[in-house]
Structure 1
Amino acid sequence: MRPVVVVGDVATDVVVALTGDPAPGSDRPASIRTRGGGAGANVAVHLARLGIPVQLAGCVGDDAAASVLRAELAAAGVQPALRTVAGAATGVVVSLVEPGGQRSMLADRGANLELEPGDVPPLSQGGHLHLSGYTLLDPGPRAAGLGALAAAVTAGCTVSVDPASTEPLRRYGVDRWLADTAAATVLLPNADEACLLTGCTDAVDAARALAVHHPVVAVSLGAEGAVWAAGTALVHRPAQATEVVDTTGAGDAFAAGLLAAWLTAGREPDPVTALDAGLALAAEVVRRPGAR
């Protein structure tokens, strides 16, 4: 089994499931739960639960939340490689979930912005690096993300990258991001991110365009499923029927499910198997509140 190092954010998710109609200036009923989150941590936890040996490189604050998150990660089977940043707060993400499952996210990345190149553990020859795109989108942790990519190439590792989010990606600069991630073996954008990265208006066309530069591109399409592009091959799989309670973390679950299938398949991964594994895990996650 190839070992995986995940580099990305660790956070506490505050999931606010809203009910009733919007009531500006007044009260609105909600169900509020606190759970472990962070894009990097979500992928790491899912991979570990699927039997993949995984380390998570990140930063936490010197607060009670960090202790809770460390314990949760270890209980899930993740080997935490987390540096405590003195005087910093552990990241917090507030997810506002509307009836029907769509959500808006308010992020205070806290200690995650202090990630340094030395925080990333050595990569095993022939292993795998998964890099959360958020790591590249801020000046603080960017050097750590670029250093991890360079180390992966040197070690002969495969690399997967999730672009993370359209607005910070747009601010960062598409050309800059594409240059940073040119070594990625597997690119894992959603439809909006794929279109932003290519200028295409259709996500399938965007997948084809990105596959010119990366060996595998897997684009998640929400309710439309997902598409796999590799070379001239294109495979589409439908989403699995499920009740949608909260879409928080669906992309992270899709990435982890697909990667677990891809990493265990050997040299010739089956696109149908990989896509279906990602879509199955995403369907499981959206049935309940929280990212994992």
Structure 2
Amino acid sequence: MPSPAEGGDGPRRPEQHGVLAVVGDLVEDVVVWTSEPVRHGTDTAARVFRTRGGSGANVAALAASAAGAAVRFIGCVGPDAAGDALVAALEASGVDVRVQRRGTTGAVVLLVDPDGERTMFPDRGAAAELGPVDASWLDDVAWLHAPLYGFEREPMRGSVLALVDAARARGIRLSVDASSTGLVANLGVDAVIELLADLRPDVLFANETEAALLGVEAGGPVAANVAASVVVKHGAVPTEVFEAGERVLREPVPPVADVRDLTGAGDAFAAGYLEAVLGGADAAAAARSGHAAAATVIAAPGASGASVNFG
């Protein structure tokens, strides 16, 4: 079983309300900002950035930026230079990084059009090879967040399910992010609904297209069955929260002047929302915190906005 030292024990902030742990992907993001419509079969003018990415790592890094936040990341990277660089970048964000090392570090190419919308080409690599997790990595954890990517395939799927079981046995609260309509479609809508009903997370995050695909965009019995609380994001339109299938909140989204890259906006929202909830906030205050966090990432390339030196 790998020890925490394999990924290095990164800096931790004071534990004011327990640790937020995130299990998921830590990968390289190759962000391509196109400045014109893509010309198939020839050149398209663009700018290219290499940043730290992965939905799980994004949530961890963005949550750690909150004052007083204690955040732990659990994942897997390759025993390679890219893995070293990504771990160092995540630790520099203030995250306690616990990683296993095997395979080859993953990468995602993100094609971002001039309006900020992105198309992703993921090669998750080592991220999907997460094995059984040391139970001590849940010590001091109050909340576990798991993007749906972690349930895509083995061995990570079994490892994350076991981690969730261990967390539930300790009374740790759970959130899941629907992650991607492509992922939901590949796994099968009915299979995802069944998985969520089994997991019964305290919070399910979904954007409007993910929510529509799962049939929870307007609450109802499916929403009541898959999570205690379903948070549906609608971009610039008010965010909705459903509890027991009934809408309990419609929170306006403050306007943002500069929108260039939507990569990581949903992860940032989850980070802000969860840190607020862990601090005792209600759903309205948590949604406002999520909106504020999302607004910090949509003007820069990728979720981190900072280039990483991969050697």
> Residue 216 of structure 1: which of 224, 229, 233 is its match?
229
Return the alpha-carbon distance in structure 2 between the equivalents of residues 219 and 19 of structure 1: 30
Evaluate the alpha carbon distance shift between residue 24 and residue 175 of structure 1 in structure 2; reply closer, same or farther with a 3 A threshold: closer
Alignment coverage as a number of residue pairs: 283
Task: Give 2:95's aligned amino acid.
Answer: V
User: Map of 1:181-192 to 2, 5 A cutoff?
Assistant: 181=196, 182-192=199-209
- Residue aligning to 2:43: 27
> Residue 114 of structure 1: which of 129, 144, 159 is its match?
129
DSSP-derived class of the 1:285 partner: coil
Is there any run of 5+ residues in structure 2 with no aligned partner, and where?
1-16, 305-311
Evaluate the alpha carbon distance shift between residue 83 and residue 207 of structure 1 in structure 2; reply closer, same or farther with a 3 A threshold: farther
> Residue 73 of structure 1: which of 87, 90, 99 is its match?
90
User: Map of 1:1-292 to 2, 5 A cutoff?
Assistant: 1-50=17-66, 51-85=68-102, 88-118=103-133, 121-124=136-139, 127-181=142-196, 182-198=199-215, 203=217, 205-206=218-219, 209-231=222-244, 232-242=246-256, 243-265=258-280, 269-292=281-304
DSSP-derived class of the 1:25 partner: coil
Evaluate the alpha carbon distance shift between residue 207 and residue 39 of structure 1 in structure 2; reply closer, same or farther with a 3 A threshold: farther
DSSP-derived class of the 1:55 partner: strand
Larger RCO (CA within 8 A; separation ≥ 6):
2
| Alpha-carbon shift at residue 238 of structure 1 (Å) | 2.1
Return the alpha-carbon distance in structure 1 between the equivalents of residues 51 and 82 of structure 2: 10
Q: TM-score, normalised by structure 1?
A: 0.91
Return the alpha-carbon distance in structure 2 between the equivalents of residues 139 and 14 of structure 1: 25
Contact 2:20 2:70 in 1 (8 A): yes
Evaluate the alpha carbon distance shift between residue 126 and residue 56 of structure 1 in structure 2; reply closer, same or farther with a 3 A threshold: closer
Task: Give 2:251's aligned amino acid.
Answer: R
After the TM superposition, list the runs of 4 or more consecutive aligned residues in structure 1 that deviate by more than 3 angstroms.
119-122, 206-209
| Alpha-carbon shift at residue 160 of structure 1 (Å) | 0.6
Contact 2:143 2:174 in 1 (8 A): yes
Return the alpha-carbon distance in structure 1 between the equivalents of residues 235 and 26 of structure 2: 24
Evaluate the alpha carbon distance shift between residue 27 and residue 119 of structure 1 in structure 2; reply closer, same or farther with a 3 A threshold: farther
Contact 1:90 1:112 in 2 (8 A): yes
Task: Give 1:195's aligned amino acid.
Answer: A
| Alpha-carbon shift at residue 178 of structure 1 (Å) | 2.8
Q: TM-score, normalised by structure 2?
A: 0.86
Give me the identity figure in percent: 38
Contact 1:6 1:130 in 2 (8 A): yes
Is there any run of 5+ residues in structure 1 with no aligned partner, and where?
none
| Alpha-carbon shift at residue 4 of structure 1 (Å) | 1.8
Contact 1:125 1:156 in 2 (8 A): no
Contact 1:149 1:183 in 2 (8 A): no
1:209-249 Cα offsets, whole Å, 9 max, x none, are 41454222111111213111223452112222112100001
Task: Give 1:230's aligned amino acid.
Answer: E
Evaluate the alpha carbon distance shift between residue 126 and residue 104 of structure 1 in structure 2; reply closer, same or farther with a 3 A threshold: closer
